[in-house]
Structure 1
Amino acid sequence: MLLLQRALRIALLLFSVVAWSQHQTSIEANVTIEKKIVDVKQTFTYQNDSQQPLTELIFYNWNNAYSQKKSALTQRFSDEFVRSFFLAGRAEKGYTRINAITGAVASYSEMGNGKDLLKIVLKEPLLPGKSVELTFDYQLRIPSAKFNGFGYEKNGSLLLRDVFLMPAAFKDGRFLAYENDNGSDAAVAPTHVHFTVNNPYQLELTTDLIPTSENVFIQNNSKNFDFFITAKNRFTTVQHNDLMVVTDIKLSGKNEFEKIISMNRIIDFTEDFLNKNLQGKILVTKADYDQRPFYGLNQLPKFLRPFSDEFVFEIQFAKVFIQKYLEKNTEIDKRTNGFLIDGIAHYILMAYIDTYHSNQKMLGRLSNYKLFSNFNLSKVSFNDQFHYHYLLMARKNLDQPLNLPADQQIKFNQNIANRAKFAIVLRYLDDYLNNESISKSVREFLAQKEQSFESFKTILSENSNQKTIRIFENLIVNRDATDFTFSDIHTEKDSVSFKIKSNSTTSYPIPVYLLKKKEIVEKKWIWTNTDTLYKLPKNGANRLALNYKNEFPEYNLRNNSTAIDKSLFNKPFTFAIMKDLEAPFFNQVLYVPSLSYNLYDGISPGLRFHNKTMLDKPFNFDVNPMYSPNTQRLIGHFSFAGNHNFRNSNWFNLRYQFAGSFLHYAPDASYLKLNPAVFLRWRNPNFRNNEKQLLLVRNVFVQKQPYFLNPPDDVNNYSVFNVRYNYSKSEVLKHFSFTPDFQLSQDFSKVSLEVDYRKLLTKNHQLSLRFFGGTFLSNRTTSDYFSFGIDRPTDYLFDYMYYGRSESTGIFSQQIILTDAAFKSILPQRFSNQWITSLNAGIGVWNWIELYGDAAVTKSRNTSATFIYDSGIRLNLVTDFFEVYLPVNSSNGWEIAQPNYQEKIRFIVTLDPKILLSLFTRKWF
């Protein structure tokens, strides 16, 4: 009863200020739960508060984007490899069906590739200060919630967001009309909403609108609203003075009282931080959190999480609550300036963690175990991990300016890295200025009627100075890889002098630390100037460090520390098992048990030593010795690689590598491969575009131990110079790549071209086509060792993961690598030593069952050109990782009717975890 009284009081308050509202709408919704249909009758009064006459109006119709095949929404799903949308039937997708639009309407039409914007041409121009009334009659088909968390759920619930017709904001002489790209960032004009829903089944209605009576809700100055229809109430409501908060985020295994205590603490903190009494109603949902989860907190299943249930709930609730409150109470164009709200929300969240969870480590309770004591992960505070979120992308050379529009940001930057960097920049300036100017600026900015990047800079300049503004703007709008280090260090008895070298043309204040072991002796802020010699008293310190507490969002921290007195090693060594977070003030050596397998070495245990942390480095080493139980010999791999990123070029990465391996290719017959290589990588300047190019130049040296079953003319020692170019553009809907290749050796030279094309057809069947053509320019070899393979190449460059590469019978001989002609049937002619052209085709028939067919024309010396073919069934369980091929018909005849058919079945099995991991990371990067 008390909650209802509070809600009614808020409703009356809203009614009292309704005159402030720019527009008004009355929505009557009739919901048919079992059909996922909402029939809507909507009256809209549009008031022109601009300074110019309007001849047309634009309304958001985002629900209709789910009905189109070429919308911005479907493109976003394709870019991020969300396959579920394209495999879904029509019943799982949504639409908006306009029955009629009446009133002062001359005509109307759908706009955009997704037809998710509605343009209404008025009968007469709408003059400034005047209003016009429109009436809409339309039907909504609600899409499945599995695509983005909103829609209909399997249990029959409807989670409605961005489904009703709402007006696009008009600003600076134009409508802010954006197509739906799954960003929940429609620029809706503030509108007074009166919402009535027909509820014949007496279902639970939960919304951020204010109830005025049963099934009737209102909201003033609403830009969007959520409306949940569920069979039972799954929400907890907390009334905090004049703010009502409703959430369905769960606190596992705990009672509601503890949950409410946590919610009140977070609300109190937000009120104190913003220095205002929060009002209105906020809906904090699990669907919101799942759209932008806390990276690292939800990657592990619940039973493996190193954090308490209370902490997980607080972080999840606080993240969504702060974000939703700021969005609801600011008038900001989220498509172009949403990074401001995202970053400020993250800034407040970090302040909350500092206040209530300052001792929480990134590894949670695992930090208390001795097994993890040497891990930097166990020493880094929970808040410090946000620096690494930004650095993860910066080191991959994939970071983007923070003020880039949201629809141009790649997913990891938009959801994780950019908001972290913005918050870090604010905290850096806060630490440097050492006053309340940053938090004061944030409060003043949020109190404004409208917010933009320019208005934030104006407020910041009023509360600080122009130097601060230059720093702030440089760090937000540029993607410079700023790096500081010491130079010209001179030590005297009681003092140390030095210069600070910077690769940036901008001068920044940077903290300099004097350390005695791990204790801070002194901290001093210094403005970087390459020509200035600084001098500090030693005070017993033995080390100098820049940016020791990671205050500044610096690209490289590994060169920020140096010993004041002479030392054998500039930085101490630290050793840790498995993979760790970068510890910039140590020389890290990581070791991890390894396990490898091939038929000739057996299950080979080893110990891998490397310096590959979770952030890319300019130099990496990886040495992996293993023991081969079958041969009782030491085997293994090694690689040494240098990376150079080009920050202002489309050719964005150059990698130098020297790698090698020593394994067995046959029983008691080993091979040594040495491979110096250079990789040059290109990426489209629009990082959202998955277009990539790679140029590889290498020389492969191979020394093989002779095997008695090999033919007498087998080649055992050779080198091959190889130049390969690859172009690819890959997404769910379509994949295209082509790869020309040139090889030169003492006894042969040859060129080849491989072209791959895959397309997801309209009926959710995938078509795949592959062309391969190759010819020898010269060939003085006497065996087929270097020939083009038809069904199983010899892999003389030892590039592929054959488990039994020398087997001609048995299960290991049935492993297939899809290269060269890529036939699945084993034909009498298995190689071509002159030229070959082939075409591989496949099409899906149901789920992971496909039909395939291969055709080729091949020519070898002293023979005429021959046409060959095969066909069969492909079980495409996980593309490129686990596939089974069942031959049916080929140049051999009807194979399915021939003896020993089980020996004709071919398979692909990939055990490399790095390749498997790419299935999950490709949607982020």
Structure 2
Amino acid sequence: MKRFTLTIPALLVYVIQLAAQHNYWQQEVNYTIRVKLDDTKHSLKGNISMDYTNHSPDTLHYIWFHIWPNAYKNDKTAFSDQQLQNDNTRFYFSGDEEKGYINQLDFKVDGEPAATTDHPQHIDILKLVLNTPLAPGKTIQISTPFHVKLPANFSRSGHEGNSYQVTQWYPKPAVYDKDGWHAMPYVDQGEFYSEFGKFDVTIEVPANYVVAATGNLQQANEKEWLKGRRQYTWKPVTTKEKNRYGQVKTIKQLYPASSPAYKTLRYTQDNVHDFAWFADKRFRVAMDSCRLASGRVIETAVYYLPEYENKWVPALQYTKNAVRFYSDAVGEYPYDQVSVVQGPMGFGGGMEYPTITLITPQFYGSQLDRVIAHEVGHNWFYGILGSNERAYPWLDEGVNSYYEKAYMQYYYPGNKAEADLYNAIVETKAVTKTDQPIHTASEDFSGVNYSLIAYEKTASWLKEVETVMGTTAFNQAMQQYFKNWQFKHPQPEDFRNSIQRFAPDTIVSTFDLLDKKGLLPQQQKRKGLAFITPFSKNKFTRADGTRAKTTITLLPAIGINSYDKFMIGAAVTNAFLPPNPFEFFAAPMYATGSKRFTGIGYAQYSLYPEKTFYKIRVRLNAASFSMDDYIDADNRKTIMGFTKLAPELLLVLKEKNANSPFYKYIQFKSFFIKEQDLHFYRDTVISNNDDTTISTKYRKVDNNTTLLQLKLGIENNRKLYPYQANLVIEQGKNFVRAAFTGNYFLNYPWGGGLRTRLFAGKFFYTGDKTFAKQAATDRYHLNMTGANGYEDYTYSDYFIGRNGSNNFQGWTTQQIMVRDGGFKVRTDLLSNKIGRSDDWLSSLNFSSTLFKSQWIPIRLFADIGTYSGGWKKEAETDKFLYNAGLQLSFLKETINIYFPLLYSSVYKDYILSTSNTTSKLTRFLKTVSFSIDVSNFSLRKINRNLLF
């Protein structure tokens, strides 16, 4: 055992702590609530009475109240705003019947009517004006009736059918402490801060409902009824519900027989700061007793749905294990019961309340054990130690996550894969400087950082504290912290003082890390080199358990196109999480068709200055593949290839707000491309008899081109109405090409939406315009139709048969690249394609989902455009061209298949004139086009926070 010596600085800290605790005070609120559930209107009707005692040294003239059901009243609340900020549009587009509110409030203070005033900003906060100021040490009684319409379960409170989650449901005074009032709106990211007291709650529900609630159930007969719920007889019931759009959905559930009678249940609990309850006719119940180390016995219960019984059988034992573990590690559980309830899907995994927690049903096995341990553990860090979770989430979520990890290590030693993955992502955020300090308020965190920093990094930081202190001293400090501050509101300084009493002087610098971004000391100890292959057992750590500074990954690489055919090789990269400043990727392959070596790769160096620019990246891209072939009269095939080198400088501007959905960038790029072509020439041969033979021969030649590109871009990757815009200016030999592309997405309330694209381009000749220049710059001209492989002059997209249109090689000729005008009808067989311009061109493109389900990939597309050629006097086409049809989209619209159904007459004439068949089906299939949109793919399509 490590010997502990109380140093002079530690003694001073202890004296200061004692003085602080001596002056400590907190308000007290004791509640009596009676409420009735109406399961046809999904509403609550009740009365609340509370004794509010002012233990502060201040005289109070008013009391702020949280009336949080109003957070669901409309789409102008802090909750609604945060949902959109975190990319969730479900509540924003919900109908009135799905929303919720609280009303029929009529406050009285000591029996006399009292006035209320609205909060200037938030409809889920109000001010109760006291008729007589409340002096220090005095108590008043506050009462009011209330009615709550429960919302659909968007967040923590509400209902899903006749399954009820009743949380944050009654008028509750805001906390008043040494820092003043803490009146805060309800939000989903960021939790609670409430006054401790006693609860006496009476709940009336239909007699066939099972209720799980905070506190002690007072009806012994109800307890006996609950114990028999595992043998309850169920019958299937089919119900139909309409949503706001009139769509009918059929729901099959297992319900017990209905009962018109009501039953009354009473729950009491001391020393808690909240009360939650849950009701469902389907619940089965498992109950048992749990003996703690002291010999005290508490009751444990698990409420679950019958269809999940097999997966939830161990849940009761998991609950008992968690209570015992936290009691031994932190301090004994002070209440007489603890309950775990299975809730609806989709509210975030788990949610804690005093003596009871709600868990989503998708977990099982060790993952269910982990979530139960974490949520039960919140009885200590949130329930008993009632810190301000909204302002200091780390003090609750992070400290609790530390003990959750200790729990998992105790019961599942060696199971580190998930922890390693989380650590890698946390370190990635730190290395790329997109992290935030641990000491950040809940609402100021980005959605990703809230989970990664408040939970994961804090847990790692607390492990750092343990390492510096030693395990024995750390455990003593945490247990004393719990003992001194249970049923109180500890602040960060209280936690720090408690730890420093048992810590060496060096712990000061460890606490300073709470206010800093970046890697923790233990995360900086990565060293050495690690190799990963498909056969590697551990993909995140070295054999000795430490993380490697550089990881080299070796994987097989394959590829395919019309000319190289099947390609096989190996890919080697050091790209990993967290990223190194210098990264490379190389995938050399051997092509079975062209019998040559092909491949792709890059090397880059990235800086994160954290000033004007979030990121500066210098990169060199390289690629070499075959791109065309030629078969001569003797049936000899010659395959041509290309090689590309593309140096790049990327500047990404820094956003002031970590929650910003914007991504703004400047990109300078050069393309140095060598393409093989065929040079045909005549060879004259004179024989001995003076006969002269002239034959046509050919040989490969290299054409070298250089293109300079400047790209300015802005993206607003918010979930609701996102948009992107970029301006690309390119300079090549004899020309400058300018193109603006803007994209806007209009969300539909029922899901999906309308994607709108605007393109405007201008082509300039440098010097005089000549026929020679026109011919030489043909592939760079603006084009109404999406570019084909030949017109992908930067070789930025993947084409199966890049130049198949030159010799009409089957279905591969139907691939396009959505660029410029973006039309889907092709006219590649014309020497001068319809809609091509070496002057100017503009178009509008639309793509709309047709079904609510995102799993149905059918879209409706329509394009309209105009170009310089259509406005000439001798023009043979209309000024405005159009096409429309159906589209199949896959992988976030990376792969698209287009079926044109309507188009301008000039396209119809082209199709008829170039078709050599009378079959309408064959002719229609020839109009089909498809795209593989590699160049526009970004991880930000999946998650806007994935900047790295």
Q: State whether TM-score is above 0.5.
A: yes
* Cα deviations by residue, 1:807-837 (Å, 9 ceiling, x for unpaired): 4465444444332222234465242211223
For residues 458 and 106 of structure 2, the distance between their equivalents in structure 1, rounded to whole angstroms, comes to 44
Q: Which amino acid aligns with 1:636?
A: G
Q: Which amino acid aligns with 1:409?
A: F
Q: Which residue of 2 aligns with 1:206?
A: 212
Distance verdict in 2 for CA 1:474–1:797, change over 3 Å: same
Contact 1:64/1:115, CA 8 A, preserved across alignment:
yes
Q: Which residues of 2 match residues 336-355 of structure 1 at below 5 A?
A: 336-355=391-410
Q: Which residue of 2 aligns with 1:833?
A: 838
Q: Which residues of 2 match residues 267-278 of structure 1 at below 5 A?
A: 267-278=323-334
Kindly indicate whether residue 522 of structure 2 is the aligned counterpart of residue 553 of structure 1. yes
Kindly indicate whether residue 760 of structure 2 is the aligned counterpart of residue 773 of structure 1. yes
For residues 873 and 465 of structure 1, the distance between their equivalents in structure 2, rounded to whole angstroms, comes to 72
Distance verdict in 2 for CA 1:166–1:158, change over 3 Å: same
Q: Which residues of 2 match residues 673-822 of structure 1 at below 5 A?
A: 673-706=644-677, 716-760=703-747, 766-778=753-765, 780-782=773-775, 783-793=777-787, 794-808=791-805, 811-822=811-822
Q: Which residue of 2 aligns with 1:136?
A: 145
Kindly indicate whether residue 481 of structure 2 is the aligned counterpart of residue 445 of structure 1. yes
* Cα deviations by residue, 1:218-268 (Å, 9 ceiling, x for unpaired): 233433333111123344334333544434589999798865444433322
For residues 40 and 897 of structure 2, the distance between their equivalents in structure 1, rounded to whole angstroms, comes to 40
Q: Which residue of 2 aligns with 1:455?
A: 494
Q: Which residue of 2 aligns with 1:432?
A: 468
For residues 619 and 397 of structure 2, the distance between their equivalents in structure 1, rounded to whole angstroms, comes to 39
For residues 431 and 549 of structure 2, the distance between their equivalents in structure 1, rounded to whole angstroms, comes to 18
Distance verdict in 2 for CA 1:428–1:137, change over 3 Å: closer
For residues 41 and 873 of structure 1, the distance between their equivalents in structure 2, rounded to whole angstroms, comes to 60
Q: Secondary structure at the match of 1:78?
A: helix
Contact 2:431/2:518, CA 8 A, preserved across alignment:
no
- Which residue of the other structure, out of 338, 342, 355, is the alignment partner of 1:282? 338
For residue 917 of structure 1, report the CA deviation from its aligned partner: 6.1
Distance verdict in 2 for CA 1:819–1:282, change over 3 Å: farther
Give 5+ residue unaligned stretches, structure 2: 1-25, 220-263, 291-295, 351-360, 630-638, 681-698, 767-772, 828-832, 913-919
Distance verdict in 2 for CA 1:464–1:915, change over 3 Å: same
Identity percentage of aligned residues: 16
Q: Which amino acid aligns with 1:786?
A: Y
- Which residue of the other structure, out of 417, 422, 433, is the alignment partner of 2:458? 422
- Which residue of the other structure, out of 376, 387, 404, is the alignment partner of 1:321? 376
Q: Which residue of 1 aligns with 2:431?
A: 395
Q: Secondary structure at the match of 1:197?
A: strand
TM-score (norm 2): 0.74
For residues 442 and 31 of structure 1, the distance between their equivalents in structure 2, rounded to whole angstroms, comes to 42
For residues 334 and 881 of structure 2, the distance between their equivalents in structure 1, rounded to whole angstroms, comes to 73
* Cα deviations by residue, 1:351-371 (Å, 9 ceiling, x for unpaired): 33444433x1435xxxxxxxx
Which deviates more from structure 2 when the two are superposed, residues 110-119 or residues 452-461? Answer: 110-119
Contact 1:788/1:831, CA 8 A, preserved across alignment:
yes
Q: Secondary structure at the match of 2:798?
A: coil
Contact 1:881/1:916, CA 8 A, preserved across alignment:
no
For residue 919 of structure 1, report the CA deviation from its aligned partner: 5.1
Give 5+ residue unaligned stretches, structure 1: 1-19, 295-300, 364-381, 483-551, 562-570
Distance verdict in 2 for CA 1:905–1:222, change over 3 Å: farther
Distance verdict in 2 for CA 1:53–1:820, change over 3 Å: farther
Q: Which residue of 1 aligns with 2:926?
A: 903
For residue 342 of structure 1, report the CA deviation from its aligned partner: 1.8
Q: Which residues of 2 match residues 99-498 of structure 1 at below 5 A?
A: 99-104=104-109, 107-108=115-116, 111=119, 115-123=123-131, 125-128=133-136, 129-144=138-153, 147-148=154-155, 151-153=158-160, 156-172=162-178, 174-183=180-189, 185-213=191-219, 214-240=264-290, 241-248=296-303, 260-285=316-341, 311-358=366-413, 360-363=414-417, 387-434=423-470, 436-447=472-483, 448=485, 449-469=488-508, 471-481=509-519
Distance verdict in 2 for CA 1:573–1:616, change over 3 Å: closer
Q: Which amino acid aligns with 2:676?
A: Q
Q: Which amino acid aligns with 1:689?
A: S
For residues 206 and 158 of structure 1, the distance between their equivalents in structure 2, rounded to whole angstroms, comes to 10
For residues 340 and 587 of structure 1, the distance between their equivalents in structure 2, rounded to whole angstroms, comes to 33
Q: Which amino acid aligns with 2:490?
A: Q
Distance verdict in 2 for CA 1:289–1:97, change over 3 Å: closer
For residues 572 and 141 of structure 1, the distance between their equivalents in structure 2, rounded to whole angstroms, comes to 54
Distance verdict in 2 for CA 1:200–1:252, change over 3 Å: closer
Contact 1:80/1:922, CA 8 A, preserved across alignment:
no
* Cα deviations by residue, 1:164-207 (Å, 9 ceiling, x for unpaired): 33222123464312223313513233343332222224211012
For residues 915 and 582 of structure 1, the distance between their equivalents in structure 2, rounded to whole angstroms, comes to 30
Contact 1:401/1:477, CA 8 A, preserved across alignment:
yes
For residue 686 of structure 1, report the CA deviation from its aligned partner: 1.7
For residues 812 and 862 of structure 2, the distance between their equivalents in structure 1, rounded to whole angstroms, comes to 23
Q: CA RMSD in A?
A: 3.9
Q: Which amino acid aligns with 2:539?
A: D
For residue 907 of structure 1, report the CA deviation from its aligned partner: 4.1
Contact 1:576/1:589, CA 8 A, preserved across alignment:
no
For residues 121 and 633 of structure 1, the distance between their equivalents in structure 2, rounded to whole angstroms, comes to 84
For residues 434 and 271 of structure 2, the distance between their equivalents in structure 1, rounded to whole angstroms, comes to 38
TM-score (norm 1): 0.76
Q: Secondary structure at the match of 1:42?
A: strand
For residues 27 and 130 of structure 2, the distance between their equivalents in structure 1, rounded to whole angstroms, comes to 22
Contact 2:67/2:102, CA 8 A, preserved across alignment:
no
For residue 333 of structure 1, report the CA deviation from its aligned partner: 0.8
For residue 161 of structure 1, report the CA deviation from its aligned partner: 2.4
Kindly indicate whether residue 880 of structure 2 is the aligned counterpart of residue 868 of structure 1. yes
Contact 1:150/1:287, CA 8 A, preserved across alignment:
no
Q: Which amino acid aligns with 2:927?
A: K
* Cα deviations by residue, 1:84-130 (Å, 9 ceiling, x for unpaired): 44555444x32114134242555546547663333444555444424
Contact 1:389/1:417, CA 8 A, preserved across alignment:
no
For residues 85 and 895 of structure 2, the distance between their equivalents in structure 1, rounded to whole angstroms, comes to 23
Q: Which residue of 2 aligns with 1:661?
A: 623
Q: Which residue of 2 aligns with 1:580?
A: 539
Distance verdict in 2 for CA 1:260–1:138, change over 3 Å: closer
Contact 1:393/1:417, CA 8 A, preserved across alignment:
no
Q: Which residue of 1 aligns with 2:769?
A: none
Q: Secondary structure at the match of 1:219?
A: strand
Distance verdict in 2 for CA 1:149–1:178, change over 3 Å: closer
Pairs aligned (count): 786
Q: Secondary structure at the match of 2:785?
A: coil
Distance verdict in 2 for CA 1:23–1:590, change over 3 Å: same
Q: Secondary structure at the match of 1:818?
A: coil
Q: Secondary structure at the match of 1:331?
A: coil
For residue 659 of structure 1, report the CA deviation from its aligned partner: 1.6
For residue 707 of structure 1, report the CA deviation from its aligned partner: 6.5
* Cα deviations by residue, 1:673-711 (Å, 9 ceiling, x for unpaired): 1111122222423211111212211111111222799xx
For residue 796 of structure 1, report the CA deviation from its aligned partner: 0.7
For residues 152 and 51 of structure 1, the distance between their equivalents in structure 2, rounded to whole angstroms, comes to 42
For residue 654 of structure 1, report the CA deviation from its aligned partner: 1.7
